[in-house]
Structure 1
Amino acid sequence: MDPRRARQRRHRRQHGRHHSALHGGDDYSNYQHKGLIVLMLKTFSKVLSNGKFKSATHRVIRKEGKERYSFAFFSNVDPEKWLEPLPQFTEDAGEAPKYRRFLYKEYLQLRMRNKTHPPSRPEDAIDISYYAV
Structure 2
Amino acid sequence: MLPATMHCLSIHRTLALVSLLAFAGCQSADGSAVPPSPGDPLPALQAVPDPAEGGRIVDASGREVLLRGVNVNAHVEYWQYDPELFTTYPFTEEDADMIAAMGWNMVRLLLSWSRVEPSPGEYDEAYLDEIADSIAMLRERSVYT
TM-score, with length taken from structure 2:
0.29
Q: Which has the higher strand share?
A: 2
Higher RCO (CA 8 Å, separation ≥ 6 residues): 2
TM-score under structure 1 length normalisation: 0.31
Greater share of helix = 1
